[in-house]
Amino acid sequence: MSSESSVLYDAPGPKAIRRDRIYNIVFTLGFLALFGYLAYRMYQNGIFDERWLVLTDPPKGQSAGDVWHSLLARGLVATLTAAAIAAPIALLIGGSLSVVRRGATGRVLSGSAAVTTELARGLPVLLLMFLAKLVFGWSPLWSVVFGLVVYNAAVVAEILRAGLAALPKGQREAGLSIGLSPMRTTVLIELPQAVRIMLPALVSQLVVLLKDTSLGYIVGYQELLRVVKLNRDYFGDYYLVPLFFVGAIIYILINLSISRLAIWLEGRMRRSKHVAKKDDGSSAMHEGGAEAKRYAANTGYGTGGTPGP
């Protein structure tokens, strides 16, 4: 943090250190007061009363085991199932789309791959899920998977396209010069390198996919959020806060750990010497570099963090 932002202000002198210390204390106290007030308001609204017993000793003759079983073994497992089915399919289709778009010799083929990705990327995932559920008449699980696959395959295709565009030109030329067809050059030479460069972005996309499984709540798939709601319908609105709290913590913890993985991967990659370097400098590569940056900025991670030249 300090290394990237300290350029905006001088290293503090004795006067500034004193001033900063005062600011620090004032703002810390301010935030503490704010959170204290919010906690007090919550207390007044009875947030901290015996409603939390629903997690340890629930009413209506249920055991704590029943509640946790429904939240974890049903809700969380359903969420992870949808993500685990959708992620590999999306990766496969997205990979194929990006290969066709780059490697196909025919304009029609690569053009239609481009149009498909653009369209799939521009539609809301929920609309796709409704299409599968209401028009195709699929089950809730497969409607969720359909929506996730169509959207994420398109995004994966875009990420890989950015990775392919960022590779040094020589890689493709070398493949073609030893007599590989354009398609095989793309698959054998370029794609493995593109996947490696864009691995952080791909992992970050996993967070998006996992977050979007919660749309299953709307199309009637019994994932984590829906199970929270079902428990609330059974026990009563009074018990919603602790149930929601558990659901939110689970989502945030899983997503945070995947995000951390992406950051770690990126740090490792920046240190590693074996990865083909993205080359922002030359004009031929610039498009790809910019594209990769845009994705990084979008997902929040990635090359956008480094200061410009």
> What minimum distance in Å lies between the beta carbon of 99 and another protein?
23
Report the C-alpha gap between 238 and 46 in whole angstroms.
Answer: 10
Residue 106 DSSP one-character state: S
CB nearer to another protein: pick between 31 and 264 = 31
Query: Which of 55, 195, 275, 290 forms a contact with another protein (CB under 8 A)?
Result: 290
Tokens of 129: 């899920």
Which stretch in 56-64, 88-96, 100-108, 250-258 sits in contact with another protein by CB under 8 A? 250-258
Residues 6+ apart with CB under 8 A from 18: none
What DSSP letter does each residue of 3-18 carry, written as one string?
HHHGGGSPPP-HHHHH
- Residue 180 or 238: the one with the smaller Cβ distance to another protein is 238
Nearer to another protein, 67 or 129 (CB): 129
Q: Among residues 54, 90, 91, 125, which is the contact residue for another protein, using CB under 8 A?
A: 125
Site for another protein (CB under 8 A): which residue of 52, 89, 275, 286?
Answer: 286
Residues 188 and 183: their CA atoms lie apart, in Å, by: 9
How far CA 117 is from CA of 67, 130, 150, 159, 161, in Å, comes to 42, 19, 9, 11, 11
Q: Which residues in the 256-275 window bind another protein by CB under 8 A?
A: 256, 259
Q: Are 186 and 113 in contact (CB under 8 A)?
A: no
What whole-number distance in Å separates Cα of residue 238 and Cα of residue 261? 37
Q: Verify binding: residue 17, another protein, rule CB under 8 A.
A: no
Copy the structure tokens of residue 286: 């610039």
Amino acid at 270: R
| Interacting span for another protein (CB under 8 A) from 81-89, 129-137, 166-174, 186-194 | 129-137
20 binds another protein (CB under 8 A): yes
| Interface with another protein (CB under 8 A), residue from 134, 174, 188, 284 | 134
Please identify, using beta-carbon distances, which residue of 79 and 185 lies nearer to another protein: 79
**Least distance from another protein to the Cβ atom of residue 118, Å:** 8
240 touching another protein, by CB under 8 A: yes
Contacts of 115 (CB under 8 A, 6+ apart): none
By the 8 A CB rule, do 60 and 235 touch?
yes
Exposure string (b/e) for 213-251, b if CB count within 10 Å is 16 or more? bbbbbebebbbbbbbbbbbbeebeeebbbbbeebbeebb
Per rule CB under 8 A, is residue 27 in the interface with another protein? yes
Shortest Å distance, C-beta 131 to another protein: 5
- Residues in the interface with another protein (CB under 8 A) total 70
How far is the C-alpha of 303 from the C-alpha of 262, rounded, in Å?
12
Q: How far is the CB of 242 from another protein (least distance, A)?
A: 10
Which residues of the shown chain bind another protein in the complex (CB under 8 A)?
1, 4-5, 7-10, 12, 20, 23-24, 27-28, 30-31, 41-42, 44-45, 47, 118-119, 122-127, 130-131, 134-135, 137, 207, 211-215, 217-218, 225, 228-229, 232, 237, 240-241, 244, 247-248, 251-252, 255-256, 259, 286, 290, 293-294, 296-298, 300, 304-309
